[in-house]
Amino acid sequence: MRKRETKKKEGRKSSVTELLETPLPMPTSSSPPPPNESPKSAFFMTKKKNTASASKFDEDTLLPTPLKALSSISDLKDLASSRLDHLKRHIDHSHSEILKDLDASQSRLHKRFKIQTQACQQVMDEAEKEYKKMFERISESREAMKASYAEFMADAQASATRACKTSITELSQSCEKSMDALRSRFGIPST
C-alpha cells in the first residue's frame, strides 16, 4: 500500500517538475492565440519592436531548467521564484509597452483633434467673411433701392404737380372752347 502511495507522490512530483520545467509559451505573430487568452484590442496592437528588453524576455523563456538541477524542494522553490520573477518582469514590460502605445495613440488623437479644430476655425472664418460680404452687398442694394425710390417719387410728384398746374387748366380751357363752339353752332345762349 505504501509503495503505491509513494509511486503516486513520485508521479505527482515528476508532473509538477515537468510543468515548472517547461518554459512559458510566448505567442508569436504567426501562431493563433490560445483559446483561454482574451483577444487583443486593435487599439494596442503595434509592430513588434526589436529592443534589448524584448530579446531578453525571449531568451529567458527559452532557457529550460534541466531535471537534474531540481534535486530538492529548495531547488523547486528557487525555480518557481525565478519563474515568478520572470513573469513579473514580463508583466511590467507589457504594461510599459501598453502605456507607451496609449500615450502614442493619445498624442495622435490630440494632433487629429487639433487639425480638425483648426479646419473648423478656418471654415468658420471663411463663412464669417462671406456673411460680411453678403451683408455689405445687401446694404448697398438697399441703399440703391432707397435712392431710386426717392428719385422715382420726386419725378412722380413733379409730374403730378405739373399736371395739376398746367394740364388741368389747359384741359378745362379746351373744354370750355369746345362747349362755346357747340353753343354757337346750335344757338344756345351762354349763361
3-state secondary structure the chain: CHHHHHHHHHHHHHHHHHHHHCCCCCCCCCCCCCCCCCCCCCCCCCCCCCCHHHHHHHHHHHCCCCHHHCCCHHHHHHHHHHHHHHHHHHHHHHHHHHHHHHHHHHHHHHHHHHHHHHHHHHHHHHHHHHHHHHHHHHHHHHHHHHHHHHHHHHHHHHHHHHHHHHHHHHHHHHHHHHHHHHHHHHCCCCC
pLDDT tens digits for 4-56? 555 555 555 555 555 555 555 544 444 444 444 444 544 444 444 444 444 44
Kindly report which listed range (11-25, 49-63, 83-97, 175-189) carries the lowest average pLDDT score. Answer: 49-63
pLDDT tens digits for 92-116? 999 999 999 999 999 999 999 999 9
Q: Where are the domains of the chain?
A: 52-163
Instruction: Please tell me the predicted confidence (pLDDT) of residue 75.
Output: 85
Mean pLDDT in the chain?
76
